[in-house]
Amino acid sequence: MNTNMKSRQGGFTLVELAVVLVIIGLLLGAVLKGQEMIQNAQAKRVENDIKQVEVWIQEHKNRTGRLPGDCNQDGLIGYELDNDMWGEQQVTARANAMSYTTDAIIRAGGAGGNSQAACPGIPDDADSTITWTATDNANTPWNDLKYVGVVRVADANRTVARLTHEDFVFIGSIEDPNDAEGTRYNAMMIYNLPTWMARQLATSINGFDEPADRGRFRHIDRATNGHLATWSEDGRTEEAAQYVNAVYFFDRIPPYGN
């Protein structure tokens, strides 16, 4: 038997083991870096989507003199974001609140139950005497955007409002729960954001991660609508609170510390 060959087949040398460990370390680093790049791209995509909706809202205001969904022209979008669709598992309810048809947009008054109805045409339409605040229909702001040509009618509201993380953004107004006078603010509600993504969005939009109850982009408590100071203060640890709701104030900003 060749003893030299037997000794060579006995195992790895320390140098060979070191090389293997270095290669494994490089591969793990590449995987982690790749995951970080994917997450950064996803967060940026959601931020861009939110900012695109803001551009649409401002363009509608430029063309009409009012915000989309502000049917009575009081400066507030009529649809109330203070609703019961907060839970992580209520994505189906949020989807059902959005129209999936591409029928023509109409202007109508009444209870606002028509999912294809925009504001009733204040002040120059024949039905301008109709008063309608549309607090019960999440589609009204989106239909207004379509009616003036800012968003394509061919794109269903459910499609336009769905973000990259597979949940929805709603346009409306929300009450500051810490304001004794019940002051309302125009906003977008972004549901079920992964906590890591919410942190990135806060840093990008506000310029800081926490406190999460300041700036334009804030953490909203699922139960009380309150503005939470951290991204883990909704009764769970941050590890357990993998998804959070956030609000983006594109118009006026509520006072800090509320």
pLDDT in tens, the chain (258 residues): 555 555 555 667 877 777 777 788 777 776 666 667 777 888 899 999 999 999 999 999 999 999 999 988 889 998 988 766 666 668 888 888 888 888 877 776 544 457 778 887 654 444 445 555 556 688 999 999 999 999 999 999 999 999 988 899 999 999 887 787 889 999 999 998 999 999 999 999 999 989 999 999 999 887 777 888 888 755 555 444 588 899 999 999 998 754
The first and second tokens of residue 174, run together, are 């929300």
- Domains in the chain, number: 1
Spatial CA neighbour of 256 closest among 191, 208, 223: 208
Is residue 21, in this structure, part of any structural domain at all? yes
User: pTM of the prediction?
Assistant: 0.80
Is residue 53, in this structure, part of any structural domain at all? yes
- The values of phi and psi at residue 106, to 5°, are -120, 165
Is residue 49, in this structure, part of any structural domain at all? yes
Is residue 10, in this structure, part of any structural domain at all? no
Is residue 229, in this structure, part of any structural domain at all? yes
Is residue 41, in this structure, part of any structural domain at all? yes
Is residue 20, in this structure, part of any structural domain at all? yes
- The CA angle 22-27-29, to the nearest 5 degrees, is 95
Spatial CA neighbour of 72 closest among 106, 113, 107, 123: 123
95: containing domain: 15-248
Is residue 7, in this structure, part of any structural domain at all? no
In the chain, which ranges are E strands?
106-107, 117-118, 169-175, 184-194, 217-220, 227-228, 243-248
